[in-house]
Structure 1
Amino acid sequence: AAYADYSPDWTYTIDWTTLSVAGSSVDYRYNTFDYGKSMHTDGALSINKDTTIGVTYLTQKPDGSVVTNSTSHDKNVAFGLNSTVNTDAPSFETDGYTYNSRVNHNGASYVFDGWYLDQSYTTKAPDSVSPSSSASFYARYIANTKTLTYQANGGAFSDGTIQDKTAVQQVGARVSFISNPSRDGYVFTGWKDKDTGDVYSAGVSVMIMPDRDVTLVAQWQGVIPIKLLGDETKKTYSGTKQSYTGFTVSGLDMGSYTVSGVQALAQGTDVGTYKGTIDYSGMRIFEKSSGSDVTNQFEVVEASEPTLIVEKAPISIVTPDDSKLYDGAPLIATK
């Protein structure tokens, strides 16, 4: 219907394209085309006549194929091109056709970057065009990225710095968190999304990047101070080496937690006082109700060794009764 005034004098132009992406131009996968794997060729027929010209729009799909749309326009009459694009909306219209502002491929998000004059995406088309002959425009989609910011919130990052760290991440992609920060007297419990309040606990290492800038704030819990106090005991000399391993955990509810890995030992043989040793380098603390290892929520602020006192062994001297007839001499007991 657009060419009801068909004339054999018209000229035709066929544009063959494989969208040979080069340089900074990319496909939906953000990679340069591999022609050995995804070769695709399209032919677009444009008609040039005295008063009108054909306009072709080529859009590459995530699977590598190309969608071609065509319209006709009066020669040398301007019409909107990139001026019609609104990537904040889910879709936009160009020359009567609807296009997606954002597309997803393999979980990652890509955003429309504009119409280009060449299939290598080196020259972006102006907002308004007025071609005098057939024209082709190429849609380019680029990675949709947002900024991810980490805040140590009173702590320090693994490299010792305290300033915010930022990274550009692609929307929809899996993001691995940086190493956990540290803070004296506190235990790191996770990252909190400053905008939503969502918390990624310390055991979570990844997130899916949303379509917005994100600030993650380190969350801290003050460690609970505990004391490992070696006990004192007394034992009676036995002639052999004796040992004592008793200690008390102060500041910890032993009805709710169990402690393992503490090595306390005092030893001695002869009568005397023996100060031992206490080693808690392998200490683990477990919550009884859940079985969870919560060692990092406690800090030993004092540790003392156990004491063994070996005391003298008591002995008894018993003399038996003795008797004799009186003979005027003293009675001497020798047993």
Structure 2
Amino acid sequence: MAGCTHGSPPLPYATETAPQLPLETIGAAIRILDHVGMVPGQVRHALFDFDGTLSLLRAGWQHVMEQYFCEVLCAAAPATPRNQHASDCREFIVRLTGRQTMYQALELEERVRAAGAVPLSADQYKTEFLRRLLESIGHRLCALREQHHSPEQYLVPGSTDLLQGLCAAGVTCYLASGTDLPNVIDEARLLGLSGFFDDGGGDPPRIHGALADYRAFSKRAVIEQIIAENRLSGPELVAFGDGYVEIEETRRAGGIAVGIASREDGGDGCDPWKASRLQEVGAQVLVSDWRESKQLLQSLGVTA
């Protein structure tokens, strides 16, 4: 795994220099940023984000959303330069990454209204975005359904090994995504990941995602539920993710937050923009993929 200071930025969002990462490096590129609260050997439950953390099926979604939202804002406020609209879209898309898509659509609705235009509903904006996204990524889903491609092509490297290591150690794994729940369940199945979140005993899988009523789901609520139902404290919970939400909420709950600054374009090294933001919101460990999962689990005191 290449280090988090290598690799050219894959996205227009990733234009900043990677942070100076403190403390220590384990293996080739596992960065320990903050030891506070990291008590090895206590992890019992693990929460994963999905897109950009395990799955690359939706890689490029931010570009699709920015292009569409920018079109909408240009029509609502044509006197404002397009590059300003693009910058504004980029800011709130990234700020709300990790939350349900509806929150970005709600922000767009409000900005159109603030520009003095009559907006569509947030539901309509979300529906059109998802239609465009499916046009962009549909070939990947078809390739998996028809078994023309292997799941490994659309997984963050090392994902399966990491999940296998956690499960072998008796750690219960959960998946929580801002993507609509039926899509998360379907895509996890296509990628061969469902079994890591399902004990096969007839209970619903431990997979959470956006619901029709967007107010009925949040990653904070999932984390609070996991902690309450299992009577967890502090470092008994670890979360793995590439977005603000799961990192912030895990730290708020006293858990261990592992950030992944994944390159969703398939390039080597980390996304320096993600690395900077993950450090800002409190990631205690930072990686660019899961290739060094054995060393990562050892650093957390997770052993089979």
TM-score (normalised: structure 1):
0.18
Q: Which has the higher strand share?
A: 1
Q: Which has the higher contact order (CA 8 A, sep 6+)?
A: 2
Q: Which has the higher helix share?
A: 2
TM-score (normalised: structure 2):
0.20
